[in-house]
Structure 1
């Protein structure tokens, strides 16, 4: 079933994503980000097992381990970081549509494009660049957990930051190309 036709004003029930044309780049980028997002969703099952292991150790064996606790927050970080890019590619991210719900599709595409260029991309690129420096510092210094039983090789978990923000940048550029394709069509 196709979405209802958009009116000039008051397209509240119609998501902008339903009207944005796909580009060759957006198809490739969205497919990559969504596949990696789905793959990374397996982390939630592993996290549940880690939590249950921690509870079992603490309450039944009366021994907790820092290793399991650190492993849990590493898994949370990976799950959340990859979910951000997945939600952007899937157009399932949270928006504040207080104003834009009454905008035409064209105006919504303009607002989306400006938001991506002015707010999202600079932030994502800033975190991506500094995340790479962050990982490099951790790798070069051989950073490990300060806890005696903690995880080593902190650069591995820290590398999730630039990877996730690289994927967010990719998903944002995909969305931007779709908005531009929509805006370039005179029929819109």
Structure 2
């Protein structure tokens, strides 16, 4: 069980690092949006600017497509991170009435039956999607749009790889929570039951004491 938590912690660390790094994309995204808006207003009042180098080489079309690309990269790279932080939408009106163990069982089943299956299907299609774009050197359908469309399409398989890794991390923590010794349940419960740490502590204190007493009885020579 200790090994499962170590694997889960390792996956969480990698996914969290990628998510935190990707979250900085909101800065260039905001700058591109602001530049696009200002430039279009400026060009609208000064038509002569359509002959400028900036308009010819970059222009509103490229900036709009860059907005879409940055926005897509931002949320695709952060989906797994959001799942680790339990930030996705849940049906709270039903979930809050469930016991901690029932929630854990539902999360475990959801990871196995839905999340990992969905990730496998989308990963399979996503790899082929990006590969075909790279082989054909796909570009924007707009004459003045961006080239190298395969770059943003490669974010799709990367996204579902990260989400699958996040699901494995969550799954391992739930396995430890459901089947591990009491002392490890509390550690795994830091993610499993963020809203019920106090309840979890009260629920497991007696189990921990009993487990430690049994352990000392089985190993009388150890302190």
TM-score of the alignment, normalized to the shorter chain, above 0.5: yes
1:112 pairs with one of 79, 94, 107: 107
1:6-33 per-residue CA deviation (whole Å, 9 max, x = no partner) reads xxxxxxxxxxxxxxxx811111111111
Aligned to 1:43: 25
Correspondence list, 1:75-114, <5 A: 75-114=70-109
Structure with the largest fraction of helix: 2
Mapped partners of 2:104, 2:181: distance in 1: 14
Q: Which has the higher contact order (CA 8 A, sep 6+)?
A: 1
Mapped partners of 2:181, 2:96: distance in 1: 22
Mapped partners of 2:180, 2:87: distance in 1: 25
Aligned to 1:178: 173
Choose 1 or 2 for highest CA Rg. 2
Correspondence list, 1:1-188, <5 A: 23-62=5-44, 64-185=59-180, 187=182
TM-score by length of 1: 0.84
Moved segments of 4+, more than 6 Å? none
1:105-132 per-residue CA deviation (whole Å, 9 max, x = no partner) reads 1111101000111111111111111100
TM-score by length of 2: 0.71
Q: Is the contact between residue 85 and residue 171 of structure 1 (CA under 8 Å) also seen in structure 2?
A: yes
How many residue pairs get aligned? The number is 167
Mapped partners of 2:113, 2:177: distance in 1: 19
